[in-house]
Chain A
């Protein structure tokens, strides 16, 4: 009879573990999105959020050992109910606490970002990390020698399901708190069944379930109020796979806010005039214009040249919808709206343009950096007619260019000069780059006067704001020697990160030093099996970041396919773990074999990128991701078996994997790729695994 009850509890806990996987992955993805709507969205911040999540998760796992001594189903139940309640609170807190701590409307630097994300992530991530080994302890109370790998496998099933549920369904049709509600429902059901089966007391099970449900429902009720700005009203709001879009109406003005940052407002025409007339005034006859992303009034300004076609490429259909709906962009018969990744469009189109106008944010992420590389400029040039102009801008300066800014524009200048015969920089609060194979003129108002094109800003302010003195000084200051920005070595991202640090007069060195010390101490304290799993965690996350980065270069930012890559990285773990469980008795031999397999896989990646780069199929990336994660997944059961397979061993293994993943995320995103480029990053991961092999072969 007891055996039957134990089996029932085992089954119920399994369900809870899977449901927790679904809920936690959804919460993690939503937390990242929520933070990106509050904080700077550069590559460092993205890596920092992921790092905090994984590191705190690892810490939570580690704490399961000392704190999990009197484990019981009851405690597991209430801990999980806390998890359900914490998820919506965490999301609301991210939105609401910012203005309590920081100055409304302002951005914050690195250390406040670190503290803010850590503080808000900690309760939930700690509990999630704690939950998995704790549930193993609870099961082992019922069934001695219950294999820890099974929990790992069920957790993976939950993670995969959560990833699929959010990335392919919820992101399209729900708001964040609705998604939290849906993702936590299976957990509530599983928890109810668990408690009812274990104690035959339905009242407590009902109380907990109701508590969880009401927290989830109450959160949905405050969704819109927590998104409404202090000034003005929320005229429109939508979540899309690419982020959060809001339209704020203040008096007569509509402002498009994307991921918490004002992109443009109605009644702004300075940027539109500069972005359009600087390049188009240079061209004798403007027939075909390509705009990659656009701002208010830009189309009207282009229209002044009477082009035959204006192709407007915007990756997110929701953006164009609301631009037209709120009159932020004008619609003309000559205009073709294309919903596609801009770079991918240029690579695939056969059309030639007189001007390509790029209107994108700063290249401080790998995604945007793709539009500032030598290869991109080369492709753009191939699609320009004779005398055609490519134009884009980056943040500029009013009266003095800082060293970081000078590095940034010099890097872009050097990169454009690899491709174009003439590159003209026009200074201002935005620095415009005009690139062409024909000579370029600096007297824009003069050119416009010759063409009889009226402007409000350029005609009145250009000669005062952008004097020939300022233009020539900027061009004289450019550093003409140094690295260029390429697809595989996004040197510019690193400069942009430096610039971000300089704005806040801060440096990440202290943070990185402290992390390194913690890391070294941790590495000295762990067993060699834990070290193998630590490096594997590092390797998996590093590979995932590399693959997403490379995929974007070759195929563009395609939300669904990138979602698929992430899912494949999660999915590979499952067969790997099952196979590892089957082979675990071969112990160290399997660890050695899988470590070597990882090295070989990464060598294949390097070879494929080096020799086949732009001929690679998208499936190759999926296959690679699946193979890497399967090999990695295989190691967990083996390492666990070698450590004895008991709860303390499981706790250590889970922790090592998570902490390794945390460090892997950080070093690949902010050190390896920006400083060393994609190939050397891959080599760095290989080195890590070689060290793992050496350690594995040591005596103790």
Chain B
């Protein structure tokens, strides 16, 4: 019987310990807790041969598209520029190629209609305490993992219950509800562009404001046309990192930045919203870079909202954003020169209120959607008479 010496035992032990722990250590080092996982792009795909056989009552030929030989069309409403063969459906699920023409399937068939406080959009510098008739059809050109309206943004128009509400009826409803504005919101308004712009033109004639609540993923030409009828917008700036845009939203950063530039050039009042997702959008350096870009390209007057993230939809394994992170981001943004920075989804936070950029006094105190204190008169601070950017009552 062979036996093992003490020296052999120790040698074997040392060698095997090193041998068996190395792969584990390598795996652990590779997965590294501070590293982000392998790059992933959650962008949507074109739905091949998914168009309905026949158009329905809520169809209309699209405003922006190009045609190619062989009945091929390219939708140019958003930067995805979906190339659709006959019978194909776009990434946003709302546009189809029927016999070489591009049609929208979301015209006059909103699936969600509500009257909301304008602060809910959020729009803090536009007709405060007014009400907005909010409408949405299905469809979105993004695939945000934390979408709070996934029930309508990630489905086809045929698969929901909807209202029969053509543009003129939307105006009637807004008047009936005494809404000061109409918000194109919830899902992605760009995907029901034709319905939105036709409704907006009628609304403008009736003195009703038009609000575009969007991810900003739109091409400059349709956006310029839209700006002609827009009164205000809230556009998400989901991150200042292209990889995060691809991974969490299925889009690209640059087109969104171009949207901000266009809105700014066209003089549309707009506010920006950044949802601070832990682990993705919570790097102070990135936020500082983002704010510097805003100040340089858009100036200091466009309000910026930092929203607290809560686990939602598919992104439900992350904790909420710590409030101090939002407080810190607000400070960073204000230090870089943005004058109006808000903190959302945190009731009672100092960042819910509006302070004069000049004298620092409280202009608007907000308790939820209620406004107990209001110190703006004729667009100016009641204390120092500085002009406050926005459209005030």
Contact = CB atoms under 8 A, between A and B. Distances in A.
B319 A248 contact: yes
A203 B9 CA distance: 8
A225 B325 contact: no
Nearest to B162: A400
B27 interface: yes
Given A202-B1, A253-B322, A457-B347, A96 B367 contact: no
A260 B318 CA distance: 9
B12 A207 contact: yes
Interface in B276-297: 277-280, 282
A399 B114 contact: yes
A503 B278 CA distance: 22
A99 B31 contact: yes
Contacts of A104: 36-37, 279, 318
Contacts of B134: 399
Chain A, interface size category, equals: 35 or more
B373 to A, nearest CB: 13
Interface string A462-497: 111101011000000000000000000000000000
Contact of B152 (A215, A399, A464): A399
Nearest to B111: A400
Contact of B320 (A100, A261, A265, A504): A265
Given A99-B37, A226-B28, A214 B368 contact: no
B28 A262 contact: no
A268 interface: yes
Given A103-B40, A225-B28, A399-B149, A230 B279 contact: yes
A96 B21 contact: no
Interface in A219-275: 219, 221-222, 225-226, 228-232, 248, 250-253, 255, 257, 260-262, 265, 267-270
Given A218-B21, A255-B319, A210 B16 contact: yes
B115 interface: yes
A201 interface: yes
B186 A399 contact: yes
B160 A400 contact: yes
A10 interface: no
Contact of A225 (B30, B33, B40): B33
A317 interface: no
Contacts of B79: none
A262 B38 contact: no
Interface string B53-87: 00000000000000000000000000000000000
B247 A250 contact: no
A152 to B, nearest CB: 33
Contact of A96 (B19, B28, B316, B347): B28
B152 A269 contact: no
A253 B319 contact: yes
Contacts of B205: none
A103 B42 contact: yes
Contact of A262 (B8, B114, B318, B346): B318
A332 B37 CA distance: 44
B287 to A, nearest CB: 15
Interface stretch (B116-124, B225-233, B261-269): B116-124
B127 to A, nearest CB: 15
Given A107-B316, A210-B16, A251-B325, A203 B311 contact: no
B374 interface: no
A210 B12 contact: yes
Contacts of B1: 200-202
A349 interface: no
Contact of A464 (B28, B36, B119): B119
A457 B368 CA distance: 7
B136 interface: yes
A398 interface: yes
Q: Which of B19, B31, B40, B312 has the most CB of A within 10 A?
A: B31
B358 interface: no
A102 B316 CA distance: 13
Interface in B242-272: 247-248
A93 B320 CA distance: 26
Contacts of A106: 145, 314-317
A229 B24 CA distance: 18
A464 B116 contact: yes
B345 to A, nearest CB: 9
B277 to A, nearest CB: 8
Interface string B134-178: 101000000001001111101100001000000000000000000
A41 to B, nearest CB: 12
Interface in A85-118: 85, 89, 92-93, 96-97, 99-107
Nearest to A473: B114
Nearest to A95: B31
Interface in A199-213: 200-203, 206-207, 210-211
Contacts of B180: none
Contacts of A456: 347-348
A401 B24 contact: no
Contacts of B33: 225, 228-230
A470 B114 contact: yes
B165 to A, nearest CB: 14
B2 interface: yes
Given A103-B248, A253-B319, A260-B317, A210 B13 contact: yes
Nearest to A257: B319
B314 to A, nearest CB: 5
Nearest to B160: A400
Contacts of B334: none
Contacts of B40: 103
Nearest to A253: B322
Contact of B151 (A250, A402, A457): A402
A459 interface: yes
- Chain B CB within 10 Å — which of A222, A225, A248 has the most? A222
Contacts of A647: none
A529 interface: no
Interface in B310-357: 311-320, 322-325, 346-348
Contacts of A230: 33-34, 279
Contacts of B322: 250-253, 267
A460 B151 contact: no
Contacts of B311: 261-262
A614 interface: no
Contacts of A207: 12, 16
Contacts of A203: 2, 4, 8, 12
Nearest to B312: A429
A429 B148 contact: yes
Nearest to B119: A464
A405 interface: yes
Nearest to A40: B316
B365 to A, nearest CB: 11
A214 B17 contact: yes
A252 B42 CA distance: 32
A100 B38 contact: yes
B224 interface: no
Contacts of B320: 253, 255, 262, 265, 267-268
B368 A460 contact: yes
Contact of A463 (B20, B31, B369): B369
Given A231-B319, A400-B112, 7 more contacts: A100-B31, A105-B315, A210-B12, A398-B149, A405-B151, A460-B347, A469-B115
Interface of A: 85, 89, 92-93, 96-97, 99-107, 200-203, 206-207, 210-211, 214-215, 217-219, 221-222, 225-226, 228-232, 248, 250-253, 255, 257, 260-262, 265, 267-270, 397-402, 405, 429, 456-457, 459-465, 467, 469-470, 503-505
21 contacts: A92-B24, A103-B37, A104-B279, A105-B315, A105-B318, A106-B314, A200-B1, A206-B9, A217-B17, A226-B28, A231-B278, A253-B324, A255-B319, A261-B316, A399-B151, A400-B152, A429-B312, A456-B347, A460-B368, A461-B369, A464-B120
The 6 closest A-B CB pairs, nearest first, are A460-B368, A105-B318, A464-B369, A251-B322, A255-B319, A253-B322
